[in-house]
Amino acid sequence: QVQLQESGPGLVKPSGTLSLTCVVSGDSITSNYWWTWIRQSPGKGLEWIGEIHHSGRTEYNPSLKSRVTISVDKSKNQFSLNLSSVTAADTAVYYCTSASYYKSDYWGQGTLVTVSS
Amino acid sequence: QSALTQPPSASGSPGQSVTISCTGTSSDVGGYNSVSWYQQHPGKAPKVMIYEVSKRPSGVPDRFSGSKSGNTASLTVSGLQAEDEADYHCSSYAASNSYVFGTGTKVTVL
């Protein structure tokens, strides 16, 4: 089964760029999943950020689209998230997932990213 | 796009049933048969319990069921057990090739 592990800085300064990587194991990133980023602000609900297919096709949350880039590295079996111009409102636990049939089947453990100076 | 509306809390005694609603619009819940439900225990990642409105992934007990009418989807947990106490989140495919989540519901087993 697919296993996912997020990694990246736990602290990002305001106006900076949040960068996270998700390493995929147990399956190839070229398998027929959409590779997805979802976040959860402390004590709040989930928010879909966006997704990428190994073909390179991406889809983004319209409210974040101007600040988000998701990319895939087939050679390393991983995908990444960049979120620019961050503010305190971007403080959240960020999850990477694999999605099929309109659902996220497998989830990483999540990584907390705090935006603060 | 706005978050789907869920009640903040729901509760029931062991063995009883609890139903959680998830209300959206014709641009998300009402427009697609792509509603999913996730269970999340404290400090853990969510787990999918229902997908495509009413389908259960392998390993999910048949105590969990889903349905949809118009712009509102529902999750019913029958025969409540202590381990069902968790947060539940709905999700729907939406226009603009995106997804929207619900506001989340905390289920308490009394």
Please tell me the distance from the alpha carbon of residue A108 to that of residue A5, in angstroms, as a whole number. 5
B window 14-53, beta carbon within 8 A of A: 32, 34, 36, 38, 45-48, 51-52
* Predicted local distance difference test score (pLDDT) of residue B96: 84
Please tell me the distance from the alpha carbon of residue B102 to that of residue B85, in angstroms, as a whole number. 18
Q: Is the CB of B45 less than 8 angstroms away from the CB of A105?
A: no
Residue A90's SS3 state is helix
A window 43-102, beta carbon within 8 A of B: 44-48, 50, 59-63, 95, 101-102
Render pLDDT for A12-50 as a digit per residue (tens, 0 to 9). 999 999 999 999 999 999 999 999 999 999 888 999 999
* Predicted local distance difference test score (pLDDT) of residue A43: 84
Residue B95 contacts A, CB cutoff 8 Å: no
Q: Give the confidence band of B36 by pLDDT, cuts at 50, 70, 90.
A: very high
Considering only the beta carbons, identify the residue of B45, B48, B99 that sits closest to A109: B45
Residue B5, C-beta contacts closer than 8 angstroms, at least 6 positions apart? B21, B22, B23, B24, B102, B103
Chain A residue at shortest CA distance from B98: A61
* Predicted local distance difference test score (pLDDT) of residue B61: 96
Residues A94-116: what's their mean pLDDT?
96
Q: Is the CB of A45 less than 8 angstroms away from the CB of B101?
A: yes
Residues A97-110: what's their mean pLDDT?
94
Long-range contacts of A58-67 (CB under 8 A, 24+ apart): A59/A34, A59/B97, A59/B98, A60/B98, A61/B1, A61/B98, A61/B99, A62/B1, A62/B96, A62/B98, A63/B1
Radius of gyration of chain B (CA): 13
Residues B87-105: what's their mean pLDDT?
95
Instruction: With beta carbons less than 8 A apart as the criterion, state whether A81 and A51 touch.
Output: no
Residues B37-58: what's their mean pLDDT?
97
Instruction: With beta carbons less than 8 A apart as the criterion, state whether B53 and B73 touch.
Output: yes
* Predicted local distance difference test score (pLDDT) of residue B93: 96
* Predicted local distance difference test score (pLDDT) of residue A101: 87
Render pLDDT for A70-94 as a digit per residue (tens, 0 to 9). 999 999 999 999 999 999 999 999 9
Residue B84's SS3 state is helix
Tokens of B25: 């619009």
Is pLDDT above 90 for B1?
no
β-strand partners of B26: none
Q: Is the CB of B38 less than 8 angstroms away from the CB of A45?
A: no
Chain B residue at shortest CA distance from A108: B45
Considering only the beta carbons, identify the residue of A44, A60, A105 that sits closest to B48: A105
Residue B7 contacts A, CB cutoff 8 Å: no
